[in-house]
Each structure stands twice: as structure tokens, then as C-alpha cells.
């Protein structure tokens, strides 16, 4: 019996999380409706096409951030509900691989949620995506999602053994994830052309988002095990 | 048929702790504990609440660090070789470490995959624990408490744990399920695995155990076979 590689362990954890989500349908039956309702409430609060179209990218990413907290909580509730996180530690699982597996499972779920939110914003807020902005929107969304998933996975692991983690996690994650909110919003504004912006103004923000994702991705893979242990 | 055909049968004691101190929020849950457990023993830990039973099991599992003292578990140092310790032991505490939304078989396959166990080993473990057949495809959330506990033990078999650390393994089970647990633990011991358990079922555990270690205040105050 040979020990599996880090990649194999990450793949096993990823497949487990995705399988549980597909089976439980929490994303589609609870989180997506919550995200869409948030978009609708923003529309009620900021009644007026001009304001909504100007602020749509920020509203989409705010809804995304709030909804992502529920997904992340859910992802780690799976591990703590019956002591699986402790069991993973006792099993000697490579926690760096566990981090990558859980992080990429989150990326997939958040990307699906983003698609729904963007479609909702286009329909409800009346924004239009320019052809020249598609590549920027897709790449910046993927980078932002990877960064958000990485930072959420780190802090969710850190908070997993703490009482009151449900309220603690947003307090930990949201301030740290603010560069993602700013970068993703600016890039989306450029992609949509809101406020008279042009696509070229969005590319530097893609760089910021990519650096954030790389730093928190690799930093998280190193720190996750010690954070869980302590 | 043995429960754990792959149990480590090395010559060093399964557990050797000397002057072990472990802190829980600055409180010494273990306060200079000395204990040696030979391989193949079934050791019952007794003592009042707060005596240090759970902390002792967590130290042996590599989950709680020693603040002072030395410890070897299955031949590996609990402070400097924590990963090796963890790979050689299995722990079932009040929780079972299962995923409710996966079936019994999927749970076993997941835990087996983490250590490179094949399908044959998973099926063998399910068969040993009576989890094959219809139960294999049942979601864990649909299992009874006894069936969940059996699934947790099956994971220990798949993981080839040489030292079973069980915190209240009878808790929440009906009489039949408790008997099942006892039978499984006897088989595990007969196959070479070492078992350390804490239990409030004193009569039952005394019949099962080959040795009783009594703790109080984080130290051993009684040791009888």
C-alpha cells in the first residue's frame, strides 16, 4: 500500500466535497436563492436604473462575498459536524493537500454562483457586457474567485475549532478579502464599461487579483496544517 | 477472521509515556503521568470527569502536545514524530468522523484513498464489520448509532491502525450495539491491535479489558490486570 501523492489527496478531498454538494443541493436550493434575493433587495434600495447600472459590479461582488460566507461555513461544517477534521489529522492526511482540495471545491461552487449573479445583474439591472470586456470579466472573475476561496479556506480552518465560528468567520475574512472586492469590482466596471470606463483600465486590477490569489493560495497551503493543529 | 490483520506487531510497547504533562488552556490535564501499554492489550481507562482520560487518548493520537515529559506511541515520538504517530493509530471519540451525505462505502473509500488503500481492503473491512450488502449504499445520516460506530471502526481497519483509541465507545448505543462493539474490540485485540478505551460502562468494560488503569488529577492512581 503506497502513500498517495499530494495531488491524489487533493483530488480525493475535492471530489468528496463536490459529491456532497451535488447530493445535498445546498448551493442551488439555499445559497443561490439567497444571493438572488440580495440582488433584488439592492435593486429595491437603489431604485433607479442609472444608479443601479453604475453600481452593479460592486453590488454583484458584495452579494458574492456575503453568499460565499455561507458556502464556506457549510464547507467546514461538513468537517466538524462529526469530527471529520480531527479524523483527518489523526489519519495523517497531508493538510496542504486538504487545503487545495477544499479550496478548489469552493472555487467551483463560487464560479457557479457568480454566473447566476452576473446573469441576474444583467437581467435586473439592465447592464450590458461589451464583447471586448468578456476576456477581462472571465479572467478577473476566476482570479478573484481563487483568491476569495483561498483566504476563506484558511480562515475557515482557523475558526473551525472555535466557539462562535459562524459569526467569527465573516469578521476574519471580509476585511482581508477587501482587495478582492475592490479589484473584482474595478475590473468588472471596466468590462461592463460602467461610469465611462474602458477595458484597458481593468487589466491592472487583474494583476492585483492574481497576486492576491497566488499569495493566499500558496501561503494557505503552507499555513493550513499548523493553523488546524494549533 | 481478525479485525486488523495488518496491525503493527513490533516489539516496542504500544504506548510509553514518562512524566507526561499536557495542558488544556493552561490547566494540566495530564500532570506528570507515567504509563506503559504493551501491544495487544485492551486497556480500560477509568476515573472521574476531568481525570485526564480524554487528554491521554488525544496525546496518544498525536492531537494534543506534551508540554513536558517523553512519549513513544507505536515506536514513534509523540513530540517530534507526530505524523508517524498519527498514521499508526486510529481514534474514535464521541464523534465518528463520518460524512453524513456520503454512503457507508463512499466514506470508507474516502478514508482509504487518503492512505492508498485499495477497493479490496475497503470491501474486506465492510465485510468484517457487517456493513456489506444493503448497508454499503445507505447514506450515513440514515444509519443507527450502532451502525455509525461500526462504520467508524471499519475505517480503523481500512487504515490498518495498530492502536485503537476509543473515547466512550459504548456511549449512545443500545445493548445489542454495545455487544457488537465488545466483539469487534476483542477481535481487534486478538489480531494484534492494541486498544485503549475510556468508558462509563464499568462492568461491561471490565469484562472486556485485560487491564484497568485508574486516573485522577492527570496521573495514574491505580493499575490492575
Q: How far apart are CA B32 and CA B60, in angstroms?
A: 15
* Residue among A64, A80, A76 at smallest CA distance from A147: A64
User: Could you say which of B93, B99, B116 has the minimum Cβ distance to residue A2?
Assistant: B116
Q: How far is B16 from chain A (nearest CA, A)?
A: 19
Confidence of residue A172 (pLDDT cuts 50, 70, 90): very high
Q: How far is CA A155 from CA A19, A152, A187, in A?
A: 23, 5, 25
What tens digit of pLDDT does each residue of B58-73 get? 999 999 999 999 999 9
Tell whether B112 is covered by a domain: no
Task: Say what the pLDDT of residue A135 is.
Answer: 95
Q: What is the pTM of this model?
A: 0.89
Choose among A219, A213, A198, A195: nearest CA to A141. Answer: A213
- Looking at chain B, the whole-number percentage of residues with pLDDT higher than 90 is 61
Average pLDDT over residues A62-82: 93
For chain B, give the mean pLDDT: 89
The domain total for chain B is 1
CA distance B9 to A224: 34
Residue B47: give the domain boundaries.
15-98+162-224
Q: Is residue B5 part of a domain?
A: no
Mutate to test the interface with B, among A91, A160, A163, A230 (most CBs of B within 10 A): A91
- With a CB cutoff of 8 Å and minimum separation 6, the contacts of B224 are B211, B212
> Among residues B77, B19, B42, B35, which one has the least CA distance to residue B164?
B42
Q: Is residue B201 part of a domain?
A: yes
pLDDT tens digits, one per residue of B172-195: 788 888 888 888 899 889 888 999
Tell me if B215 is assigned to some domain: yes
Chain B residues with at least one Cβ partner in A under 8 Å: 61-63, 83-84, 86-87, 89-91, 93-102, 106, 110-111, 113-118, 121, 155, 159-160
Q: Which tens digits make up the pLDDT trace of A134-156?
A: 999 999 999 999 999 999 999 99
pLDDT of residue B10: 61
Predicted pLDDT at B220: 95
- Spatial distance between the Cα atoms of B91 and B95, rounded to a whole number of angstroms: 10
- B130 lies in a domain? no
**% pLDDT > 70, chain A:** 99
Whole-number pLDDT of residue B4: 44
Kindly state whether residue B145 falls inside one of the protein's structural domains. Answer: no
Kindly report the CATH number assigned to the domain that includes residue B191: 3.40.50.300
pLDDT at B17: 96
- Average pLDDT across chain A, whole number: 93
Grid cell for residue A183:
479589484
Q: Indicate if the pLDDT at residue B7 is higher than 70.
A: no
In a domain, B43, yes or no: yes
Put simply, the answer to whether B95 touches A82 (Cβ < 8 Å) is yes
Q: What ipTM was estimated for this complex?
A: 0.89
Amino acid at each position: 500500500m503506497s502513500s498517495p501523492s499530494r495531488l491524489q489527496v487533493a483530488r480525493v478531498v475535492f471530489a468528496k466535497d463536490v459529491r456532497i454538494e451535488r447530493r445535498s443541493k445546498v448551493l442551488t436550493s439555499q445559497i443561490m436563492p439567497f444571493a438572488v434575493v440580495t440582488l433584488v433587495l439592492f435593486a429595491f434600495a437603489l431604485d433607479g436604473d442609472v444608479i443601479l447600472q453604475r453600481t452593479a459590479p460592486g453590488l454583484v461582488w458584495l452579494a458574492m462575498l456575503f453568499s460565499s460566507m455561507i458556502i464556506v461555513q457549510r464547507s467546514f461544517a461538513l468537517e466538524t459536524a462529526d469530527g471529520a477534521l480531527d479524523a483527518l489529522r489523526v489519519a495523517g492526511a497531508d493538510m496542504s493537500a486538504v487545503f487545495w482540495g477544499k479550496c478548489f471545491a469552493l472555487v467551483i461552487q463560487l464560479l457557479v454562483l457568480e454566473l447566476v449573479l452576473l446573469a441576474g445583474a444583467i437581467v435586473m439591472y439592465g447592464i450590458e457586457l461589451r464583447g471586448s470586456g468578456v476576456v477581462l470579466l472571465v479572467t478577473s472573475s476566476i482570479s478573484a474567485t481563487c483568491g476569495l476561496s483561498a483566504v476563506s479556506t484558511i480562515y475557515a480552518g482557523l475558526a473551525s475549532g472555535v466557539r462562535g465560528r459562524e459569526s467569527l468567520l465573516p469578521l476574519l475574512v471580509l476585511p482581508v478579502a477587501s482587495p478582492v472586492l475592490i479589484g473584482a469590482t474595478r475590473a468588472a466596471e471596466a468590462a461592463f464599461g460602467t461610469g465611462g470606463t474602458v477595458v484597458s483600465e481593468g487589466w491592472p486590477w487583474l494583476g492585483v487579483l492574481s497576486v492576491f490569489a497566488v499569495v493566499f493560495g500558496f501561503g494557505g497551503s503552507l499555513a493550513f496544517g499548523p493553523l488546524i493543529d494549533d | 477472521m481478525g479485525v486488523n490483520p495488518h496491525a503493527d506487531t513490533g516489539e516496542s510497547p504500544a504506548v510509553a509515556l514518562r512524566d507526561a504533562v499536557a495542558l488544556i488552556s493552561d490547566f494540566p490535564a495530564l500532570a506528570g503521568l507515567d504509563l506503559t501499554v504493551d501491544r495487544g492489550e485492551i486497556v480500560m481507562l477509568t476515573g472521574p470527569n476531568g481525570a485526564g482520560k480524554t487528554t491521554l487518548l488525544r496525546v496518544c493520537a498525536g492531537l494534543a502536545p506534551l508540554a513536558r515529559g517523553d512519549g513513544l506511541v507505536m515506536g514513534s515520538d509523540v513530540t517530534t514524530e507526530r505524523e508517524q504517530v498519527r498514521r499508526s493509530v486510529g481514534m474514535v471519540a464521541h464523534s465518528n468522523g463520518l460524512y453524513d451525505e456520503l454512503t457507508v462505502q463512499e466514506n470508507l473509500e474516502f478514508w482509504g484513498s487518503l492512505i492508498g488503500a485499495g477497493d479490496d481492503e475497503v470491501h474486506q473491512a465492510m465485510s468484517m464489520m457487517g456493513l456489506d450488502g444493503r448497508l454499503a449504499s445507505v447514506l450515513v445520516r440514515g444509519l443507527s448509532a450502532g451502525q455509525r460506530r461500526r462504520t467508524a471502526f471499519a475505517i480503523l481497519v481500512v487504515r490498518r491502525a495498530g492502536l485503537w483509541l476509543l473515547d466512550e465507545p459504548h456511549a449512545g448505543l443500545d445493548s445489542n450495539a454495545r455487544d457488537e462493539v465488545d466483539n469487534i474490540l476483542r477481535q481487534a485485540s486478538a489480531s494484534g491491535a492494541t486498544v485503549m478505551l475510556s468508558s462509563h460502562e464499568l462492568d461491561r468494560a471490565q469484562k472486556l479489558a485485560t487491564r484497568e488503569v485508574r486516573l485522577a488529577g492527570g496521573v495514574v492512581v491505580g493499575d490492575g490486570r
